[in-house]
Amino acid sequence: MKNETLKNNPLLCDIETGMCEIPGTSSDSTANSNIQSTKKSVKVIYYTDPICSSCWGIEPQLRKLKLEYGNEIEIEYRMGGLLPDWNYNSGGISKPSDVATHWDEVSVHYDMPIDGDLWLEDPLNSSYPPSIAFKAAQMQDNEKAVLFLREIREMVFLQKKNIAKWEYMEVAAKKVGLNIEQFKADFEGDAKALFKKDLKLGSELGVRGFPTTFFLDDAGNKEIVYGSRPYAFYEMAILKLNANATKSEYSKDWETLFAKYPTLTAKEFSELSGTPRNESEKVLNELSNKGILEKMTTKNGSIWGIVKQSTND
């Protein structure tokens, strides 16, 4: 029954594989067309979705990868269309509330805060609107688009916000400094076509679920990491393509890390700072108790951010 449930609902991600799978897709991934080379030694094509819980689960690994191998890799974010709507379902899963308990379970598995009550309180009908919004953000600025994606993920996983609603997408866009008029125009216009291109390429590449991460070199060699995997899997993919890839040293103190990433979970702080996981939360709590960090707590974990200074300071 469990396997049947997974087949019928992509939001019920397989904890063993770390993959949120699209219904009706095959596991073949042989296409190399439409993949362009990069000036950096390794290009990374990252297929994801704003509401993919397994993708939220690999945020610690991806953030570390950017810090250690940012000079060697160029990451290209692509949207995969995890939840078109609820009409495709058949069998035992037919409504959003069926996902709530699962999200609470994967939160524990990935050690990343996720509140499944979203699916009871204000569920999304589709992940397409926030995916199109991400493409609209990309049209303006790639770096701001990545920040935008992080914002809407925090909204959906921790704040229980239905990020398919324009009001929340607009708030996130403003927060990361996007031009809102352009963002809205692109969201209602060309971003839809760009999203369709992502879906088309994903189909050609054999993407069957998320996260799927392709690593490519200029010679066309390819390594693929399916699902949520430990950091070593992503690092090894880079080194297989470029054995001479150099790992950058970075400062692991909390000031430097929060300057780079404005919000961190205890799992992320542990991964990036090298602090044992059972100590990372204590360090962050001490900083929040001193008023240096703000702590947001959900029923399944917390996230910390730098305290915002008031304009009167």
Residue 65 contacts residue 213 (beta carbons within 8 Å): no
Mean predicted confidence (pLDDT) in 145-154 = 98
The pLDDT, as a whole number, for residue 88 is 59
Same fold, 2-210 and 254-306: no
Enumerate residues 6+ apart whose C-beta is below 8 A from 179. 140
pLDDT single digits (tens) 57-93: 999 999 999 999 999 999 999 999 999 988 755 444 5
The pLDDT, as a whole number, for residue 124 is 96
pLDDT single digits (tens) 244-265: 999 999 999 999 999 999 999 9
At the top level of CATH, the class of 254-306 is mainly alpha
Residue 245 contacts residue 41 (beta carbons within 8 Å): yes
Nearest CA-CA partner of 124 in 19, 228, 52: 52
Q: Does the structure show a pLDDT above 60 at 95?
A: yes
The larger pLDDT score, comparing residue 206 to residue 11, is at 206
Residue 132 contacts residue 78 (beta carbons within 8 Å): no
The pLDDT, as a whole number, for residue 13 is 79
- In sequence order, what DSSP letters do the residues of 43-112 get, joined into one string? EEEEEE-TT-HHHHHTHHHHHHHHHHHTTTEEEEEEE--S-S-STT--TT--STHHHHHHHHHHHHHHTS
Q: How many helices (H) and strands (E) does the chain have?
A: 14, 9
215 phi, psi to nearest 5 deg = -115, 125
Q: Does the structure show a pLDDT above 50 at 94?
A: yes
> What 3-state class would DSSP assign to 245?
coil
Q: Cα 145 to the chain's mean position, in Å?
A: 12
Extract the tokens encoding 210. 């998320």
The mean pLDDT value of the chain amounts to 90
Looking only at the bridges linking them, the beta strands covering 263-265 and 293-298 are unpaired
The topology (CATH level 3) of 2-210 is Glutaredoxin (3.40.30)
% the chain with pLDDT above 90: 80
Residue 11 contacts residue 99 (beta carbons within 8 Å): yes
Residues in the chain: 313
> What is the pTM (predicted TM-score) of this model?
0.90
The whole-angstrom separation of Cα 172 and Cα 169 is 5
pLDDT single digits (tens) 171-184: 999 999 999 999 99
Q: Where are the alpha helices (H) located in 158-214, listed in sequence order?
A: 166-175, 180-188, 190-205
The pLDDT, as a whole number, for residue 25 is 54
Domain residue extents for the chain: 2-210, 254-306
The pLDDT, as a whole number, for residue 135 is 98
Which of 94-99's residues contact partners 24+ apart within 8 Å by CB, and which partners? 96/120, 96/123, 96/124, 97/123, 98/9, 98/12, 99/9, 99/11, 99/12, 99/123
